[in-house]
Amino acid sequence: MSVLSEQDRGFWEENGYVIVHQAVPQANLDAVIDTIWTFLGMDPNDPDDWYREPHRKGGMVELYQHQALWNNRQYPRVHQAFTEIWRTEKLWVSMDRANMKPPARPDKPEWDHPGMVHWDLDTAARPIPFKVQGVLYLTDTAENQGGFQCVPGFHRQFEEWVKTQPADRHPHRPDLTDLTVKRIPGRAGDLLIWHSLLPHGNGRNTSDRPRLAQYVTMYPADEKNEEARQHRIRMWRDRLSPTGAAFPGDPRGLEQQYGKTADLTELGKKLLGLELWDSA
């Protein structure tokens, strides 16, 4: 059965993002939420406890390989949604982190994250590869709660817009002068998938609740790339974070020291690269 309706498809084409409701069961959401608070060593019921490391300004939680995260990555409805976007089931899943962005507070100015808008892909490249990204809303998230925001429909306007921009424009940071950034509220269990050409990011949290989310995306499995496949297997097995400046990892090394390698379902093994789609 399709996850995306005709209407969803039309919305996706027009806006460059789509929301899959109830992408995973509530128990999966609860498990990630508990894991985030435990990993942070914070009391979810005590807002005074939310403004300190180990999460970083902007709320990124350097947690990557926990079973609870994997249970969402390998949840069939999540895979089905990405299958319909990519029009192939032969996908690999990202091993991405979580987010806990606390509300802005006048007495905690150093933790007041204004939000951001960027592109992860290099918009100076030609051709620009088709890519998608995704975020799972772990709780109901109001418009002012610091959640996902983007410029809807920009994937259709990019080529015209870029002609109006200076040659030395930043390939990862759009000039937002003539663009309208929309904040996208959602319900717990919503999986929002976006076209990577949309300028996107998250907003300032002016609510009184923390913003909680898990990032997850999929892309066609690169099974002929044995080095990449082995690297992915090592990441899962040894519970590593991705490399690169954007992913500093957890300085405490909690996952590496105390974590347990996540159990994978048959689907999970293929989504990791432990088993091959093509030998099936």
Ligand X SMILES: O=C(O)CCC(=O)C(=O)O
Q: Which residues bind ligand X (CB under 6 A)?
A: 99, 120, 133, 135, 147-148, 200-202, 213, 215
Nearest distance in Å: CB 1, ligand X: 28
Residue pair 263/270 in contact by the 8 Å Cβ criterion: no
Q: Which is nearer to ligand X, 141 or 270 (CB)?
A: 141
How many CA within 13 A on the CB side of residue 181? 20
Nearest distance in Å: CB 68, ligand X: 18
Task: Tell me the C-alpha distance between 146 and 115, whole Å.
Answer: 7
Nearest distance in Å: CB 28, ligand X: 18
Q: Which is nearer to ligand X, 120 or 226 (CB)?
A: 120
Nearest distance in Å: CB 278, ligand X: 29
* Alpha carbon separation from 47 to 50, 51, 120 (Å, rounded): 5, 8, 31
Task: Tell me the C-alpha distance between 235 and 94, whole Å.
Answer: 11
Nearest distance in Å: CB 202, ligand X: 4
Nearest distance in Å: CB 147, ligand X: 6
Q: Which is nearer to ligand X, 192 or 264 (CB)?
A: 192
Q: Which is nearer to ligand X, 172 or 237 (CB)?
A: 172
Nearest distance in Å: CB 206, ligand X: 16
Q: Which residues of 38-76 are buried (b: 16+ CB within 10 A; e: fewer)?
A: ebbebebeebeebbeebbeeebbbbbbbbebbbbbbbbe
DSSP secondary structure of 188-234: TT-EEEEETTS-EEE--B-SSS-EEEEE--EEE--TT-HHHHHHHHH
| 13 sits in which H/E element | helix 6-15
Give the burial class of 8: count Cβ atoms within 10 A of its Cβ; 0-12 exposed, 13-18 middle, 19 or more buried: middle
Q: Which is nearer to ligand X, 113 or 270 (CB)?
A: 113
Nearest distance in Å: CB 104, ligand X: 15
Q: Which is nearer to ligand X, 139 or 202 (CB)?
A: 202
Could you tell me which residues are beta bridge partners of residue 230? Answer: none
Q: Which is nearer to ligand X, 229 or 241 (CB)?
A: 241
Cβ atoms < 10 Å from Cβ of 81:
23
Q: Which is nearer to ligand X, 199 or 273 (CB)?
A: 199
DSSP strands (E only) in the chain? 17-20, 60-61, 91-93, 98-101, 132-137, 148-150, 182-183, 191-195, 200-202, 211-215, 218-220
